[in-house]
Amino acid sequence: MDRERPIGVFDSGVGGLSILRALRAELPQENFVYFSDAGHAPYGEKREDFVTGRSLAIAVDLLEQHRIKALVIACNTATAAAVHLLRARHTHLPVIGVEPALKPAAALTRTGHVAVLATRGTLSSGKFDALLASLRGQADFVLVPCDGLAAAIEDDDTARIRDLCERYTAGIGRFGNGPDEIDTLVLGCTHYPFAGDVFRDLLGPQVQLVETGAPVARHTRRLLQAQDLLNPQGSAHVQWQTSGSAQALHAAAARWLGLGGGRSMDPGSRPG
């Protein structure tokens, strides 16, 4: 039955596990297929046409091999590059993208000053420009491209993660609750929530960290419910696929989700 088919989730690597974590919490009776394109990560520092090609190929593979009933693009860069094409090519398939949580941040900030950490690919996209323009006047947004941070999280390089978090937050401005201080930080890449403890340690409890997992999970539930696709009897089981190291994906799933798994597979030869 269509209801029992899994939900496909993909990212350039392990960052999308932050979205998968929220999906499993919101939809505990759904099953999932997670594809980590670690063999081609990070997307945020790649050309847009490359990211588009990978996204289209992965979607085809998930449809053909797993008969997914919905697709969650658990990557801001891939969403910006390919969500419109995926929706146009697969009109029968609910396609859910992610975007930096600027709207929730604008609603949460008390000082009116918000910092946005994201990849260059996300910040330079037309989709992000449109989102930013839609919020003009609601808050002051400081945009910070964080080269190398997603890769450091992918590699679980603790020292490098802290060094980069320190470097990027130090160059933004003053954090705090004062009238000219930044009180809200948007983690605008799905990898960045896994550095959340580092940011909290550096910035203190007065700064709010905003990520996208929970809103994406709620939106996914609404779309499935609207199409009568909610699974009444799944178990949040996850099938794992990766174009990179299955061992690395296994370790990341165990570390951040308490799960294990991963087998190597690369759909790159499939037509987009």
Write the pLDDT tens digit of every residue in 143-170.
999 999 998 998 889 999 999 999 999 9
Mean pLDDT over 250-261 rounds to: 83
List the CATH number of the domain containing 88: 3.40.50.1860
pLDDT at 260: 63
Residues 67 and 136 in one domain: no
Q: Which of 220, 240, 225 is nearest to 3 (CA)?
A: 225
Residues 185 and 235 in one domain: no
Task: Count structural domains, the chain.
Answer: 2
pTM: 0.87
Residues 199 and 228 in one domain: no
Containing structural domain, residue 7: 2-98+213-269
Helix, coil or strand: residue 182: strand
Annotated catalytic residues are 75, 189
Residues 118 and 218 in one domain: no
Q: Are 217 and 23 in contact (CB under 8 A)?
A: yes
Residues 199 and 222 in one domain: no
Q: Are 31 and 234 in contact (CB under 8 A)?
A: yes
Which of 190, 210, 230 is a domain's end point?
Answer: 210
Residues 55 and 78 in one domain: yes
